Amino acid sequence: MGQKLAVDIILIPPKEILGLAIKVNRTFKDTAAENYVQDQKKCVPHITLLMGLVIESKLPIVTSRLERLSKKFSPLSLRITGVDISERPDGKKISGFRIEKTAELQNLHESTLKDMEDFFSYEGVSKEMFYSPPPLDDVPNYWLQGLAETKIRENYDPHITLGFGVPQPMGFPIQFTVYDLVLCQLGNHCTCRRILAEIPLG
């Protein structure tokens, strides 16, 4: 059947938002210990549209589908409305920028889901499908809990994960525009570790 990769179709925010996310990430004391040091190339802050497992040989077809999809959407105007914080079983807190779920963003998410339903799967996931280095101790919790498959449609929750920690207070909302649809291979903690395709919207 061929080797499968754990991939994510994402929106990458503009440089000023990338810079802000990276700046916040670097203030967290557990960033280095958790191998979660964000940057603009090998651990990219992003907004997930859809995760899945895809056979590596199918990547050209997936990319072609994304190119066709991207032509149907103009660059998206989005807003960060606050920070959400959750807690792992070990007590460590994970925070992320909350993204306002506009009708256009929801439409792009659901259109991506429809276009990928013949190529994406979720069963049989293993850590070998994720990018390394940094090495994975295990499949990310997000996958083990089945969220990659269920945080979709009405449960879609757009955000930019910042890492393990709680940021200092800052002013919201923060407006920005995203211009590209991106396919990447996931790494530890569902980070975006390897860009496979980058396609402009519109």
Q: Which residue has the tokens 């407006």?
A: 175
Domain locations in the chain as residue ranges: 4-200
pLDDT at 1: 63
Q: What is the pLDDT of residues 128-184, one digit of tens each?
A: 999 999 989 899 989 999 999 999 999 999 999 999 999 999 999 999 999 999 999
| Residue 4 token pair | 């499968």
DSSP state for residue 41 in the 8-state scheme: S
Are 137 and 64 in contact by the 8 Å Cβ rule? The answer is no
Closest to 15 (Cα-Cα) out of 170, 172, 190, 178: 178
CATH class of the domain comprising 4-200: alpha beta
Total-model pTM: 0.96
Q: Mean of the per-residue pLDDT values for the chain? A: 96
Q: Is the pLDDT of residue 52 over 90?
A: yes
